[in-house]
Amino acid sequence: MANELVSVRGVTLGYGSRIILKNLNFAIQRGDFMGVMGPNGSGKTTLLKALLGLLTPIGGSIDLTPHDGVPLRIGYVTQRERLDSHFPLSSLEVAVMGRFGMIGAMRRPRRQDYEIARGCLRRVGMEHRAALPYRELSGGQQQRVLIARALAGEPDLLLLDEPTNGMDLEAERAIMELLLDLQSEKSTTIVFVTHLLSAIEHFARRVALITRDGTVVIGAKEQMLAPETIARAYAAQEL
């Protein structure tokens, strides 16, 4: 389909001989705002890694549709807890990393890269914190900087790994509303992975549910959040 940004066909994912997800068939549509949910250890991050190209499928294929003849650009928002707080980086230095893939090997970021990164910080309401050390920001502010970093790469698709993990409801709402604004502003396709039902329930438009048998079911939020669907997916964890 012309509207498909990512097409996943018959994909099996795993590490070595250990299969985590099998026979996945789904598509991510242009302009999607999709939440990926599932029990802990069900393979949410594995799926994200495969979409990012960090994990080669054991079987099947993941096709990324070029945009206007240019290879699809994916912005990745990593889990902020995984970043080392000993690195003395300013918010701007973190944000400009999003440009690193576009600069070319052995070349330093130029003034215009910093200007673009600063513009992305502005879009997420963090320009006034550009010079501050990233590690001194609150969890919500750090998440905004990481979103700015992903935006700095001018992505067609934004993938976020647990973007509201460890946040209170107010901070979660602020981050998710920011993502909705970004999505409606430039029609950026957004896929976020979370184990928090609240983020899915209040903000996702479509939901990909990883079930206990290692498959993925995609549908409208109302359908996927039906109690019996959730119970099926989470049953294995409760046992």
Partner 1 sequence: MIDLLTVPFMRHTLIAGVLVALGLAPLSVYVVLRRIVFVGAAVAEISSAGVALAVLFQVEPFAVALVLTVLTFLGFSRAADSPRLPLEALIGMLYAGGSAAAVLLIVKAPRGEGEILNVLFGNILTVPVALLWAMVATFAIVGALQFFASKELLISAYDPDMARALGINVNLWNTVFYVALGFAVAIAIRGVGALLTFTLLVAPGAAALCFVRGLGAAFVVATTMGLVATVAGVFASYLFDFPTGPTIVAILAAVFALSYGYAAIRGT
CA dihedral 91, 97, 103, 107 (to 10 degrees): 80
Residue 124 · residue 145 · CB < 8 Å: yes
Q: Which is nearer to partner 1, 63 or 181 (CB)?
A: 63
Minimum gap (Å) between residue 193 Cβ and partner 1: 13
Minimum gap (Å) between residue 65 Cβ and partner 1: 18
Q: Which is nearer to partner 1, 193 or 207 (CB)?
A: 193
Residue 114 CB-density burial (10 A; 0-12 exposed, 13-18 middle, 19+ buried): middle
| Count of C-beta atoms within a 10 Å radius of residue 189 | 21
Minimum gap (Å) between residue 126 Cβ and partner 1: 16
Q: What span, in angstroms and rounded, lies between the C-alpha atoms of 74 and 176? A: 19
C-alpha closest to that of 219 among 16, 29, 5? 29
Minimum gap (Å) between residue 53 Cβ and partner 1: 7
Q: Which is nearer to partner 1, 66 or 101 (CB)?
A: 101
Q: Which is nearer to partner 1, 92 or 175 (CB)?
A: 92
**Residues at the interface with partner 1 (CB under 8 A):** 49, 52-54, 74, 76, 78, 82-84, 86-90, 93, 97-98, 100-101, 103, 105-109, 133, 149, 153
Cβ-Cβ contacts under 8 Å for 18 (sequence gap 6 or more)? none
